[in-house]
Amino acid sequence: MTETTPPERPAARRLPKWVHYLIDYGGLGAWLLTLVITHNAVASSWVIVGASLLALLVGLVFERRVAPMPLVTAVLGVIFGGLTIFFHDERFIKVKPTILYTAFGLFLVTGALRGKNPLKVLMGDAFHLPDPVVRTLTLRYALFFFFLAVLNEAVWRTQTTVVWGFFKFPGMLILIFLFAMSQAPLMMKHMPDDEPKPEP
């Protein structure tokens, strides 16, 4: 009696980065357009819920995994978008960035206090830096996320829904990009040189 080995499962396909960008930012763009047209955060929340579910579906179907950050963002998008629609109260969708960025900040602080490297979860394993530099970056990113949470609260409580919509996208994206660029010199200064040094 011969044993037959089960057929190997096909490897998960990795989608091009532009597909992920299209899903993430295309959904936000459609949400902002809906918000500008309707001036109604409740109506535009349907787009947030749909884009969040689509992002999860693409990760599960094509890559058979969902990265931690998109997972948290998508789950909160579905929860707070659903609450906004159900209760017809736009405050739910407006406090979502506050809760999201506060959670990121707490995640970084608690991870660092436990001696872990939580920044790699947010930024990936593409960088290898000395521990003191990683701790400095972790603290800076935590404080920056707390700042975004406070800033979101200030904007949605004092500005119109459309102004808050532009602040959320692309405003927050621009702030995150500028902050990341401001940390690049520190990272580049301590980045290990992978190139082999020439022999004397």
Number of domains, the chain: 1
pLDDT of residue 193: 63
- Does residue 35 sit in helix, strand or coil? helix
pLDDT of residue 200: 44
Whether residue 9 is contained in a domain is answered as: no
Range of the domain at 64: 17-190
Whether residue 1 is contained in a domain is answered as: no
Whether residue 131 is contained in a domain is answered as: yes
- Please tell me the distance from the alpha carbon of residue 160 to that of residue 167, in angstroms, as a whole number: 11
Low-confidence ranges of the chain (pLDDT < 70): 1-15, 20, 23-24, 63, 66-69, 121-127, 192-200
pLDDT of residue 197: 44
Whether residue 195 is contained in a domain is answered as: no
Whether residue 77 is contained in a domain is answered as: yes
Whether residue 86 is contained in a domain is answered as: yes
pLDDT of residue 183: 92
Cα 51 to chain centroid distance, Å, stands at 14
Whether residue 95 is contained in a domain is answered as: yes
- Please tell me the distance from the alpha carbon of residue 193 to that of residue 191, in angstroms, as a whole number: 6
- Please tell me the distance from the alpha carbon of residue 41 to that of residue 35, in angstroms, as a whole number: 6
pLDDT of residue 56: 77
List, for residues 129-154, the tens digit of each pLDDT value: 788 888 899 999 999 999 999 999 99
Whether residue 30 is contained in a domain is answered as: yes
